[in-house]
A and B are shown apart, each in its own frame.
Chain A
Amino acid sequence: MPLWKTEAITLHSRRWGEADRIVTLYTLKLGKVRGVARGARRMNSQFGAGLEPFGHVEVTFFEKGQDALVRISQVDVRESFLRLRESLAQMSAAARLVNIVSALSADRDAGTRIFSTLLNGLQSLQDKCDPVLTSMIVQIQILGHTGFRPQTDHCASCNNPYALQAARFCAVSGGLLCRHCEGQSHGQSLPMSPGSVAFIQQARRLPFPAATRLKAVGQIRREVEAAIEAYIMEVIGRQLPAMDFLAAESHPPSYGVANDQRPFPPHPMENNIEVSG
């Protein structure tokens, strides 16, 4: 019955039974771990608010036999990211970050860089950085840290590094396609301007604090956002909850179709929705 004590970020927390919670944590030492917190929903619970999503905590847990779920015995909050709860835009972006880490990381496969990127991303959102831009940068970096880096240095199909002018992004192929290979993508590719390619490359290469100084507006933002969204959907095989979840039903995802005429409606978060508490 090994006992673990490690830093962790709470990814999800779901009700279980009468008063318990099943919590998904991304821990520094063990990677993604799922555990049961007995009595966590009771008023006098020792866990308090320590198991709320987005929280950076110091958690103690033990394993019980062959059970995949660990038993969480103690939680101390390091940073609750309380201010994220004051804005729907920041909350939605933070939800996207934990969802992407949860979807891309394997159980019990520790990744220090994934942990620090997620933590930095949540901190940036709490500091009121642009939620869409922050989430794009974190998603690009997490894709790299988990082995799913989108190919932007040469054609993802023919490996030709010199034919990427006016390239297109193909989620199925995992990166940019040259003009020659684009014709074979059966209309599944998205437009990708040189500025958008440069943004993805810089977001991937720069350390997080420097990456947050990148700017992406207008066409670049729309292209990168659409490409990353389509690529993540291809990698994990399902649609993650939309960042604009308030309008999810009125804006069904349209990625993966012939996209020359894609209208690219402005993302609601671009309008800097400010929500008073």
Chain B
Amino acid sequence: MSVQQQGLLATLAREFVKLPGIGQKTAHRLAFHIMKARSEDALRLADAIRDVKAHVTFCVQCRNIAEHELCEICQDPKRDRTKVLVVEEPSTLHAIERSRGFHGLYHVLSGALSPLDGVGPTEIRAHELEQRVKEGGITEVIVATNPTIEGEATAIYLTNVLKPHGVHVSRIAYGIPVGMDIEYADDITLTKSIEGRREL
């Protein structure tokens, strides 16, 4: 597939290439698709992109993606306001929401501490979380940062900062993915899942 390097179609393909996971071939395929699509479909896509940029922002309380000052979760009166689940990025929040396994509020750190790269607490939204806890009403903070060096460092730091305020701080469990054969699990996951066993 070849596309002339100049012109409107090439410009569109170059814009698609900037998206994550999109290479040259896919970009050209998408550009051709847009060209062949009905006008109203293509313009709807353009409008959706414009609306996202114009109206989507971050929740002032939890830093989730929001269309108003507060996100839908923070506005929802049915949510358990005594529990806050801490994640690194909004994408993790949406994965947990998809699971429907948590009914409390969230706090997005927008990053994680990194001893390897020297990322300190002032570069993530840890202070804002401490402020939320200080304001009262929260009894448990569940740290759901990734099980990486960065995520672990963040979890330890948050534990040290939040526990003096009298809240219960817990960490999500490590373990064997559902449906997986235990014999294929790696040593670290196995060790952690045995350490984190629960009584039946």
Contact = CB atoms under 8 A, between A and B. Distances in A.
B153 interface: yes
A228 interface: no
Contact of A249 (B120, B152, B153, B186): B120
Nearest to B180: A44
Contact of A91 (B115, B120, B192): B115
Interface string B150-172: 00110111011000000000010
Contact of A98 (B114, B116, B148, B177): B116
A205 interface: no
Interface stretch (A47-55, A111-119, A189-197, A254-262): A47-55
15 contacts: A12-B116, A13-B148, A48-B187, A49-B187, A88-B115, A88-B157, A91-B152, A241-B115, A241-B118, A245-B120, A246-B113, A249-B120, A275-B160, A276-B156, A277-B156
Contact of A77 (B118, B119, B155, B186): B186
A18 B185 contact: no
Contacts of B116: 12, 53, 95, 98-99, 241
A245 B186 contact: no
Contact-residue bracket for chain B: 20 to 34
A95 B118 CA distance: 9
A98 B115 CA distance: 11
Nearest to B120: A248
Interface of A: 12-13, 17-18, 43-44, 47-50, 52-54, 77, 80, 82, 85-88, 91-92, 94-95, 98-99, 240-242, 245-249, 275-277
A12 B117 CA distance: 10
Given A18-B21, A88-B115, A245-B115, A80 B120 contact: no
